[in-house]
Structure 1
């Protein structure tokens, strides 16, 4: 049996956790055939079968499940090593990875990144734009902007002022539907742009929130659904009414609030990092700059 390549072990762990080659390839930033070759190479080096195909799915064998437990331990040890090394860094230069939703990454972070360039030219900020919660303990990011309080004991979070979400559309679109004056009129006349998730939970929750605030809706009334940043671009292009954080809407002059006195949905904001990397000067600097920027965002509740 040959010594296993660490990249191949990471590939095994990713497939076990993601449940499919395609999802694991996206997580690792690899092409699916490349990931498949890594799994095949690991099977050859270990002399065992790790996955069996059932239609279009991959089913892990007992060998894969047993090896997966050891691979997780190796991954955790590697993450601890990297965290310890990062914490020892005293130079205010190098890379810092910040995770945020795609809409926040596209519309809120650019001025923050410009400011960081001015105060710390040696720091390179890579933004992980994703609507899933990045795993800071596995170094998918150094800092994350989250909307839920962190529960992992190794993470620390700073509660920022709440943002709020509201309904927005272009003036031209509102004119085209007669500028509804009540939530019931809006629900009847407008075309709503929702968020794509394959279980439909996002639009069910959104419909419930809007109904509770006087816009009686069902999930099926979201005529178009897509990812957050794309959905917002559709709103900006006049395709319908969408829900967005006020901080993002404030950076988009083409839209205007719709029934702001009716719809104001509070959104908690947490700035999160790992306890160990918080001792790194460059990560601490980026954390503090982000905290200052988030505290000044125009996300408070609007007034009628």
Structure 2
């Protein structure tokens, strides 16, 4: 297929904008192209859009056919945008941002207390704290359905990955409203069974031969521990993963030491704080919402409830 240049692409973008006028252009195809371009592969885009890879591939192929241009070419196992694809991406991305802003504005004006509210939290928070919060919200606003997005990555509120986020870092985007609602501390913990087997740990030197459970990457864990004043090496990290909940449960089963916030550890008498004289690690809680969504009645209700819960002396925990 011959690439017809920027005039062709601009005309195609105009067709997208006029889709409601009866033209055959499919915005779902444009979204499939946009996510594929941003993720770099059909498989990653299919996962992000919760569809099968063949379906996504057909949507991108349909867009290429509708526009009479080639958007991607394969370089080995990688997808590369063609010059026409790069031009198209710029316009479709701008359209996506515009559609998102329109959606945010419409959602922000909604005054119904019926509907979904998506809250993005860490996996630890999702497992141990959110069940009690959801139960309270069910009593307060039974028509609101809470969607819990459990992810240790920072959700993009501007792209509506979530309506509200509980984060341990302050957001930097100007369109987000953030409120610091809690300041907790992190410490080093081990199960009683592990300490019985390993022996007493009274000084940082005592952990030189101890086993550690890593959360995040091995390099991040090692750097964090060494900056904390613990003389360990990569050999001490006997298990590592990106799930804080899995790391905590492995430590509870006697597999090693793990850092954790006191908010969670206080509910587990089988876990003991190790080296309590180590400097406490600050664990702030930032509650974040998009500025437009802050005027939505149902989202404001959930936001205000989270403010109240996170402001309590103790967070709700397992079994509450």
1:246 aligns with 2:267: no
Matched with 2:275 is: 259
Deviations 1:64-96 (A, max 9, x none): 211111111111121122112212211212100
What secondary structure does 2:229 align onto? coil
Matched with 2:198 is: 177
What secondary structure does 1:189 align onto? coil
1:165 aligns with 2:186: yes
- Please give the alpha-carbon distance, in whole angstroms, between the structure 1 residues aligned to 2:35 and 2:52: 13
Matched with 2:210 is: 190
- Please give the alpha-carbon distance, in whole angstroms, between the structure 1 residues aligned to 2:301 and 2:134: 12
How much does 1:13 deviate?
Answer: 1.3
1:135 aligns with 2:151: no
Which of residues 253, 262, 280 in structure 1 aligns to 2:296?
280
| Matches for 1:1-304 after TM superposition, within 5 Å | 3-186=24-207, 188-197=208-217, 203-228=218-243, 229-262=245-278, 264-296=280-312, 298=314
How much does 1:7 deviate?
Answer: 1.6
Distance 1:205 1:47, change over 3 A: same
User: Structure 1: which 5+ residue stretches go unaligned?
Assistant: 198-202, 300-304
- Please give the alpha-carbon distance, in whole angstroms, between the structure 2 residues aligned to 1:43 and 1:297: 57
User: Structure 2: which 5+ residue stretches go unaligned?
Assistant: 1-11, 13-22, 316-320
- Please give the alpha-carbon distance, in whole angstroms, between the structure 2 residues aligned to 1:7 and 1:253: 52
- Please give the alpha-carbon distance, in whole angstroms, between the structure 2 residues aligned to 1:278 and 1:87: 6
CA RMSD for the aligned pairs?
2.0
Q: Is the 1:177–1:189 contact (alpha carbons within 8 Å) kept by the matching residues of 2?
A: no
Q: Is the 1:247–1:297 contact (alpha carbons within 8 Å) kept by the matching residues of 2?
A: no
- Please give the alpha-carbon distance, in whole angstroms, between the structure 2 residues aligned to 1:30 and 1:177: 48
How much does 1:282 deviate?
Answer: 0.6
Deviations 1:212-265 (A, max 9, x none): 333112345322111222222222322221122222323445433222321521
| TM-score, normalised by the number of residues in structure 2 | 0.85
Matched with 1:200 is: none
Distance 1:38 1:233, change over 3 A: farther
How much does 1:160 deviate?
Answer: 1.8
- Please give the alpha-carbon distance, in whole angstroms, between the structure 1 residues aligned to 2:66 and 2:296: 38
Q: Is the 2:163–2:289 contact (alpha carbons within 8 Å) kept by the matching residues of 1?
A: yes
What secondary structure does 2:246 align onto? helix
* Residues matched between the structures, number: 293
How much does 1:283 deviate?
Answer: 0.4
How much does 1:289 deviate?
Answer: 0.8
- Please give the alpha-carbon distance, in whole angstroms, between the structure 2 residues aligned to 1:40 and 1:84: 32
Q: Is the 1:95–1:126 contact (alpha carbons within 8 Å) kept by the matching residues of 2?
A: yes
